[in-house]
Structure formats: C-alpha cells, structure tokens
C-alpha cells in the first residue's frame, strides 16, 4: 500500500517536470540549411531552407516552395535583422512551427560578408548549442538566398551541396574544423557558385557546386584559388586519398593519365639558424589508367622515365599551390605553422607573433618519389 503511494507520487513527479523540453516532430520546422547575406552595414539577411515533410506542394508569403519528387520538399524563408538571432526571431514569426536546428547541415556565407570577416556570423552557430557543429560551411559567390532559391531536380540545393562536400573531391570544412582552424591559424572554406544553366532553361533552373577554395587571412577572406590549385593544397594538407594526374609525356603524342594512391604527405620542418626550411615528403604509388601515347609501358626503362616525369608534374602542381598560397596570399592554410610548432615548440613560442612575417620566407623543398605499380588491366588498346 505504501509502495503504491510512493509509486503514484513518483509517477506524478515525472508528469510535472518531464515534458518541458519535449517537442513533437509535427510541431517543428526542421532547418536543413542556413545562409547569411550582407544587406547593408547594419543589416544581414538570414535565409533558411526548411524541410516540409509533405508530398503536396505548399507555397505562401515570401517563401517559395521547392518542388521535388523525393520524400521531402523544402521551403525557403528569409528575414532581415541586425544579427542572426535577431533575424531568427523575425523568421520565427513567419513560421507556424518551432524552428529546430538539430538537422541543419549546410551553412552558406556570402562572399561579401566573408570578406568583412566570418567570426561574427559564425559565432552564433558555435555559441548556441542547438545547431550542429558538423554542418558544412561554404562561401558563396552569389547571395545565399539566391543559392537556396535555385530550382533543383529531386534534391534541394543544400542537399546537393552537402553531398558534394561529403564526396571530398574538393574542400570540405565543417563548423568544428573551422573552429579549430580559427584558433591555430588561417582559414579556408569551399567556394560555391551557380552552375550556368543549360540552354533553354531559366536562370534559376540549375544548382550550385563547389568550384574552388576561399582563402582567409585570420577570419577575413582575401582571395580564392581554383580547383587545380585546391587539389595541390589538399595534397600538401595530406587530405587526398586518390587522385588523377594527366600529362603529356616527353616526346610522345597524346596524354597519359595516372591514378595516385596511398599517398602520405609529410611536412618535415627544419630550422637552421635564421633559415626556416620545410620539406614536403611523399611516397606514392601510381597506376596507369589511360595511355594515348605510343609508349609501350612494359620495360622498366620506360616505366622509370614515366615515373620521373610524373614526379616532375606533380612537383609542379604542388609548387604552384605553394607559390599562390604562401608567397602571394600569405595565408597559412597548409599547416606549416603547426608543423613547426610540433617540432620546435620552444622556438615557436618565441616567434609565434612574428609568424606572419616568417611564413612567406619559409623555404619549401620537395622530396617526392613515386612507383608505377600497375600498368593497367588490359593493354590491347595500346598503340604499337
């Protein structure tokens, strides 16, 4: 009997305290992506992509509905405000459901805003515990609103961006990566732009894709590099699992393409007196995937010569990336500072403040070696 009373009491306490943060899914507006644009000096515009879990299309007010044949449709809403939370508050007024950040996976920042510095806009996403810190962050050439308003087939614009980032072909930076980079040095983010629409399509019937990398000095964007240089940077960052290199071998007609595998790139720093030196060392294996030339890759001699040419090609790519990033943009996104800090922690502490001056002066050396492991599955198509 007493037990029963206890039980009843216990159950009541659950009912009293339990449900305070309970949210039913049918009362939430799942934000899939958020974008920030600069309107004028005091105003930003926040655009969100909200999942609409219904098969019928829906439209209204300022937002546009995104037709899709898949399970979810999205709704684009935007609102202006002094800061992101300010804009959010206004956004909530337009929405019948409660905003839910738990599934936001994409954050797009307009280039204009990025050039002013991203620290302020990113701060909300980091400070508020609700948004995911594993969201991918992008810098958009167009306004974020424009990117989200694209009419994409079967997937929403943010889903396409997320999938492209996930494939890791070019840069992919999550919020948490960004945080770490902001602490240790300079930042880079993938750049996205609208793919020019196909002939006969309206200007918004296309999608956005990653085409390059935005380079930041501290948190301010200072420039961008294209896809080719981005690959070079990714190599140096040791972030490439597999990649192709196509080049014109000496004295041959046609191209040869190789697939580079198992690359492990090491940055080996060295301080000799005042001279700071860094060796980019890598050993890799290559596989011939295309051979348009008349070289018959059978004898070790030929393979040796191809290996040497491959090294040269590759070194050239890395050099171009280093030249651009280190000498021109002077942004330490390659992890040089970190490498020095690890090897020479004491010296690093002394020169930490002067690193910006030292960095462009660091001499970069290359120690690249590669082995052509496989010449291909079938060689019958080879020119004789």
Partner 1 sequence: MFRLKGGEGMFFRRSKQKKVDKHQQMEEERSPLSSNLDKNIEKIRLLYEDCSDVVFRSFLIGGKVKAELIYIDGLSNMEEIDTSVLSPLMQKMVEKRSSPSNWMEEKLSVAKITEVNTVEECIENTLMGNPILLVEHESKGLALGLARAEKRAVEEPASESVVKGSREGFVETISVNIALIRRRIKSPQLKMKSMKIGRRSQTEVAVVYMKGLANETLIEEVNNRLQRIDIDGVLESQYIEELIEDHPSSPFPQILSTERPDSCAASLLEGKVVILVDGTPFAMITPTTFLALLQASEDYYQRFVLSTAIRWLRYVYLLLSLLLPSLYVAVLSFHQEMIPTKLMMSIATSRENVPFPAIVEALIMEITFEALREAGVRLPKQIGSAVSIVGALVIGQAAIQAGIVSPPMVMVVALTGIASFTIPRYNLGATLRVLRFPMMFLAGTLGILGVMLGILIILTHLCTLRSFGVPYLSPIAPWNKSAMKDVLIRAPWWQLSERPRLTGEFNQYRQGPNQKPGPRKGGE
Piece of 96-104, 189-197, 231-239, 284-292 that binds partner 1 (CB under 8 A): 96-104
Q: Where does residue 64 rank: exposed (0-12), middle (13-18), buried (19+ CB within 10 A)?
A: middle
CB-CB contact of 128 with 196 (8 Å): no
CB of 288 to partner 1, least distance (A): 38
Is residue 274 near partner 1 by the rule CB under 8 A? no
51 binds partner 1 (CB under 8 A): yes
Helices (H), the chain: 2-17, 84-94, 111-116, 119-127, 144-148, 157-166, 175-184, 227-236, 300-322, 336-343, 345-351, 355-358
- Answer yes or no whether residue 21 interacts with partner 1 by CB under 8 A: yes
Q: Does 198 bind partner 1 (CB under 8 A)?
A: no
**∠ CA(289), CA(293), CA(299), 5° rounding?**
75
How many residues in the shown chain lie near partner 1 by CB under 8 A? 29
Question: Is 32 a residue that touches partner 1 (CB under 8 A)?
Answer: yes
Our finding on whether 9 is near partner 1 (CB under 8 A) is no
Under the binding rule (CB under 8 A), the answer on residue 71 touching partner 1 is yes
Residue 382: CB atoms within 10 Å: 16
- Report the residue number, 25 or 183, with the smaller CB distance to partner 1: 25
Reduced to 3 states, what is the DSSP secondary structure of residue 101? Answer: coil
Q: How far is CA 94 from the centre of its chain?
A: 31
Binding mask 308-347 for partner 1 (x = CB under 8 A): ----------------------------------------
User: The tokens of 265 are what?
Assistant: 């790139």
- Name which of 51 and 113 has its Cβ closer to partner 1: 51
Stretch that binds partner 1, among 10-18, 218-226, 276-284, 293-301 (CB under 8 A): 10-18
**By the rule CB under 8 A, 244 interacts with partner 1:** no
For tokens 């219904």, the residue is: 54
Closest separation between CB of residue 349 and partner 1, Å? 40
- Judged by CB under 8 A, the stretch of 1-9, 164-172, 295-303, 346-354 that binds partner 1 is 1-9
Determine the Cα–Cα distance for residues 3 and 231; give it in Å rounded to an integer. Answer: 69
- Does residue 154 touch partner 1 according to CB under 8 A? no
Would you count residue 28 as binding partner 1 (CB under 8 A)? yes
Residue 85, interface with partner 1 (CB under 8 A)?
no
Query: What Cα–Cα distance (Å) separates residue 367 from each residue in 56, 131, 267, 315?
Result: 59, 43, 10, 9
Task: Determine the interface stretch with partner 1 among 16-24, 146-154, 239-247, 320-328 (rule: CB under 8 A).
Answer: 16-24
Closer CB to partner 1, 70 or 153, in the complex: 70
**30 counts as binding partner 1 under rule CB under 8 A:** yes
Which residue stretch of 23-31, 293-301, 307-315, 350-358 sits at the interface with partner 1 (rule: CB under 8 A)?
Answer: 23-31
Of 104 and 284, which has the nearer Cβ to partner 1?
104
> Which residue in the set 60, 67, 85, 102 belongs to the binding site for partner 1 (CB under 8 A)?
102
Question: How crowded is residue 72: how many other Cβ atoms within 10 Å of its Cβ?
Answer: 17
Query: Can you tell me the distance from the alpha carbon of 365 to that of 362, in angstroms, rounded to the nearest whole number?
Result: 10
Q: Are strands 136-140 and 188-194 parallel, antiparallel or unpaired?
A: parallel
Cα–Cα distance, 46 to 80 (Å, whole number): 6
Is residue 25 a contact point for partner 1 (CB under 8 A)? yes
* Residue number with CB closer to partner 1 (31 or 260): 31
Does 69 bind partner 1 (CB under 8 A)? Our answer is no
Residues numbered 129 to 148 that lie near partner 1 (CB under 8 A) are 132
Examine residue 100 and tell whether it contacts partner 1 (CB under 8 A): yes
Closest contact distance (angstroms) between CB of 18 and partner 1 is 3
Q: What whole-number distance in Å separates Cα of residue 318 and Cα of residue 334?
A: 11
Question: Between 300-322 and 227-236, two packed helices, what is the crossing angle to 10 degrees?
Answer: 100
Burial 327-363 (b: 16+ CB within 10 A, else e): eebebbbbbbbebbbeebeeebeeeeeebbebbeebe
| CB 215 within 8 Å of CB 186 | yes
User: Where on the chain is the footprint of partner 1 (CB under 8 A)?
Assistant: 1-2, 5, 11, 14-15, 18-19, 21-26, 28, 30, 32, 51, 53-55, 71-72, 100-103, 105, 132
């Amino acid at each position: 009997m007493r037990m029963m009373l206890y039980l009843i009491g216990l159950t009541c306490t659950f009912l009293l305290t339990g449900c305070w943060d309970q949210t039913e899914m049918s009362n939430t507006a799942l934000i899939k992506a958020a974008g920030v644009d600069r309107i004028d000096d005091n105003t930003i515009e926040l655009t969100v992509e909200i999942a609409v879990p219904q098969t019928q299309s829906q439209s209204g007010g300022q937002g546009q509905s995104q037709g899709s044949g898949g399970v979810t449709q999205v709704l684009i809403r935007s609102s202006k405000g002094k800061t992101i939370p300010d804009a959010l508050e206004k956004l909530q007024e337009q929405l019948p459901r409660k905003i839910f950040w738990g599934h936001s996976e994409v954050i797009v920042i307009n280039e204009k805003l990025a050039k002013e510095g991203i620290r302020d806009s990113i701060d909300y996403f980091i400070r508020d515990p609700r948004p995911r810190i594993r969201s991918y962050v992008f810098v958009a050439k167009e306004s974020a609103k424009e990117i989200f308003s694209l009419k994409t087939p079967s997937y929403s614009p943010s889903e396409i961006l997320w999938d492209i980032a996930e494939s890791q072909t070019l840069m992919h930076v999550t919020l948490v990566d960004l945080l770490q980079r902001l602490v240790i040095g300079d930042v880079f983010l993938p750049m996205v732009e609208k793919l020019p629409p196909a002939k006969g399509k309206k200007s918004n019937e296309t999608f956005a894709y990653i085409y390059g990398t935005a380079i930041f000095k501290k948190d301010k964007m200072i420039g961008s590099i294209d896809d080719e240089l981005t690959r070079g940077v990714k190599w140096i960052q040791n972030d490439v699992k597999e990649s192709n290199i196509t080049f014109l071998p000496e004295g041959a007609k046609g191209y040869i393409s190789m697939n580079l595998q198992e690359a492990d790139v090491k940055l080996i720093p060295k301080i000799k007196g005042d001279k700071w030196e860094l060796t980019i060392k890598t050993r890799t294996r290559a596989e011939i995937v295309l051979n348009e030339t008349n070289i018959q890759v059978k004898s070790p001699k030929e393979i040796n010569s191809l290996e040497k040419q491959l090294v040269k090609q590759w070194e050239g790519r890395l050099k171009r990336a280093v030249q651009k990033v280190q000498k021109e943009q002077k942004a330490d996104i390659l992890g040089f500072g970190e490498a020095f800090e690890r090897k020479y922690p004491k010296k690093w502490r002394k020169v930490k403040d002067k690193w910006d001056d030292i960095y462009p002066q660091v001499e970069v050396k290359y120690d690249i070696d590669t082995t052509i492991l496989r010449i291909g599955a079938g060689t019958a198509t080879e020119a004789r």
